[in-house]
């Protein structure tokens, strides 16, 4: 497999989804894995575009069948990444991004230790609260819960290969693009991708 698996994690409200969306718009051979979730759809979300929305019984059946590369419970809802989606993309030389939390990242690294992991942090707690409030999607109670969980989430940044600070959006996006491009040029990946070219260069 010559594709690269990227893990992008962050505390809720850090701007991860917006950054990844911009990254996808400016990067060839890169796609995001659409997760399965049991949480209700938010206004404007579409099934199969933002998430695959399933009920808890179906989700647990998929867990039992071993269909997930990783899965986790977050704020009472379940999220999971389909193993078949990831494997198919990597075999086709497509880099794939998993937008998952640190729990899921730990599970993925056990099966794909070569995955490139990135943790995005906010510039401050005050900025994080403001971003959560500006969403206009969650109640004050939910916002407080997310803020309380943010510190615990951010403490796991030490488990990741790269850390990006989302203070200035353009700078954070540039940093993500640099990580993706450098990862595609790793010797182990290029050896697979350009096997025939390298063979031709080295043969008499």
Q: Do the annotations mark residue 82 as ligand-binding?
A: no
Q: Do the annotations mark residue 13 as ligand-binding?
A: yes
155, with CB counted inside 10 A (0-12, 13-18, 19+), is exposed
**Number of Cβ within a 10 Å radius of residue 41:** 12
For residue 97, which phi and psi values (nearest 5 degrees)? -105, 130
Q: Do the annotations mark residue 141 as ligand-binding?
A: no
Q: Do the annotations mark residue 10 as ligand-binding?
A: yes
Q: Do the annotations mark residue 12 as ligand-binding?
A: yes
Per-residue 3-state assignment (H helix, E strand, C coil) for the chain: CCCCEEEEEECCCCCHHHHHHHHHHCCCCEEECCCEECCCCCCCCCECCCEEECCHHHHHHHHHCCCEEEEEEECCEEEEEEHHHHHHHHHCCCEEEEECCHHHHHHHHHHCCCCEEEEEECCCHHHHHHHHHHHCCCCHHHHHHHHHHHHHHHHHHHHCCEEEECCCHHHHHHHHHHHHHHHHCCHHHHHHHCHHHHHHHHCC
Q: Do the annotations mark residue 66 as ligand-binding?
A: no
Residue numbers in the known binding site are 10-17
Binding residues for ATP: 10-17
């Amino acid at each position: 497999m010559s594709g690269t698996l990227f893990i992008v994690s962050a505390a809720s409200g850090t701007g991860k989804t917006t950054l990844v969306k911009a990254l996808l718009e400016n990067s060839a051979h890169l796609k995001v894995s659409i997760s399965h979730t049991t949480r209700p759809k938010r206004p404007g979300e579409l099934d199969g575009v933002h998430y695959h929305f399933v009920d808890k019984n179906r989700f647990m059946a998929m867990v039992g069948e071993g269909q997930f590369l990783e899965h986790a419970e977050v704020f009472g809802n379940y999220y999971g990444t389909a193993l078949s989606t990831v494997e198919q993309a990597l075999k086709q030389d497509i880099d794939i991004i998993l937008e998952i939390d640190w729990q899921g990242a730990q599970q993925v690294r056990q099966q794909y230790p070569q995955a490139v992991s990135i943790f995005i942090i906010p510039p401050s707690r005050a900025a994080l609260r403001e971003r959560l409030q500006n969403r206009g999607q969650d109640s004050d109670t939910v916002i407080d819960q997310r803020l309380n969980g943010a510190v615990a989430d951010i403490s796991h940044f030490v488990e990741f290969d790269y850390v990006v600070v989302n203070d200035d959006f353009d700078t954070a996006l540039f940093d993500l693009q640099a990580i993706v491009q450098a990862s595609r040029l790793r010797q182990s990946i290029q050896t697979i991708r350009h096997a025939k070219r390298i063979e031709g260069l080295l043969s008499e």
